[in-house]
Amino acid sequence: MDIRPLISLSARLMELAGVGSMVLGALLGTGLLLFRRQGLSAPEAYRRFRLNLGRAILLGLEFLVAADIIRTVSDQPTLSGVLVLGVIVLIRTFLSFTLTVELEGRWPWQPERKRPATTPPALPPPPGKLARPEAAGASARH
């Protein structure tokens, strides 16, 4: 039984998954930008759109690298085929690294930075009232 057609089909499916994830991610990112923008500033909406689009591109690149590897391994490996695969993988890996740096502000091997929680500022107490009763006792003692 010859499994080469099955392997070739799996490489094509991986390519389709890569392109599909990029296109679907772009469409979903655009939809989120259009429908969930209420209450967000323009720079924050743009930042979120870039993050969503960048994640879709990264996922698509991973699928495309996998398809290239499957295709190269399934064919009769030649030196030129392996070199072409190596160049393609290097380019796509470089793109993945630079996209990660651009989106997350860190190299892929660095730990994630904790972002400060964005909580809205507390409203001041109404005039003549204290925010906490224990604050009144503490300030009266000093």
**7, 74 contact by CB (below 8 A):** yes
Domain ranges of the chain: 4-104
Higher pLDDT, 142 or 27: 27
- 97 contact partners, CB below 8 Å, separation of at least 6: 107, 108
User: Can you give the pLDDT at residue 28?
Assistant: 94
C-alpha–C-alpha distance, residues 82 and 127, integer Å = 75
Q: Please give the structure tokens belonging to residue 84.
A: 């072409």
pLDDT tens digits for 46-96? Answer: 888 988 898 899 899 889 989 988 888 777 778 888 888 888 888 888 888
Instruction: Tell me the three state secondary structure of residue 45.
Output: helix
